[in-house]
Amino acid sequence: MLRAFQKKSKKGIATPKADIEAIKTRLRMAEADHHARFAMQGQEP
């Protein structure tokens, strides 16, 4: 799981930019970790 948060938007259904940036950052970190783990095993998908 990259991020779990309760929706608290005060302007309709838009997700706050801070939450979007935090999710993007964690996704990049997770992708880098995934690639590092599989590269070490020689099993890059």
Q: What is the pLDDT of residue 29?
A: 93
Residue 42 gets which letter from DSSP? T
pLDDT of the chain, 45 residues: tens digit per residue: 666 767 666 667 777 788 889 889 999 999 999 888 887 676 555
pTM assigned to the model: 0.61
What is the reported pLDDT for 44? 54
CB 3 within 8 A of CB 26: yes
